[in-house]
Structure 1
Amino acid sequence: MAKISCSSFFVLMLVFSVFSLVEKAKGDERCTIIIHPGSPCDPSDCVQYCYAEYNGVGKCIASKPGRSANCMCTYNC
């Protein structure tokens, strides 16, 4: 009887661990927002504003070659 209880315990722990990992993965979603879309991007301002407002990472990225860069902020949703 002890062998059945021990193996059942380990199976339940394995199932519980898998569900815990799945829930954690769902919570790690990342969002992206364009900050001040019409304004030219200053890299230092972009980084500081994104971190202060969203606790994220800001980068100046041009949507197409030849266009001015926009401040793209990536943060946890």
Structure 2
Amino acid sequence: MYSRAGLDLRDRELITVAICTALGTAAPQLRLHIGGCLNVGGTRDEIVEVITQMAVYAGFPAALNALAAAREVFDSPAGEPGR
């Protein structure tokens, strides 16, 4: 899926962050894709905006859990792009 034309890797990862947020049951995968998004050019601000947007569609608890997962990735050395 990631090699298909039409969307760049950053956009694909942002979409995957949104979907994992909406699922509400995929915290390990969400953390993985947040890190992946950072590694392909996504920014912390973009990731937080995507998760915040999902609060409207997936529910506030799911978005809060996703923000907590994002904070874990952002605070870990492995969450920094290029590491």
Q: What is the TM-score normalised by the length of structure 1? A: 0.30
Relative to total residues, which structure has the larger helix share, 1 or 2?
A: 2
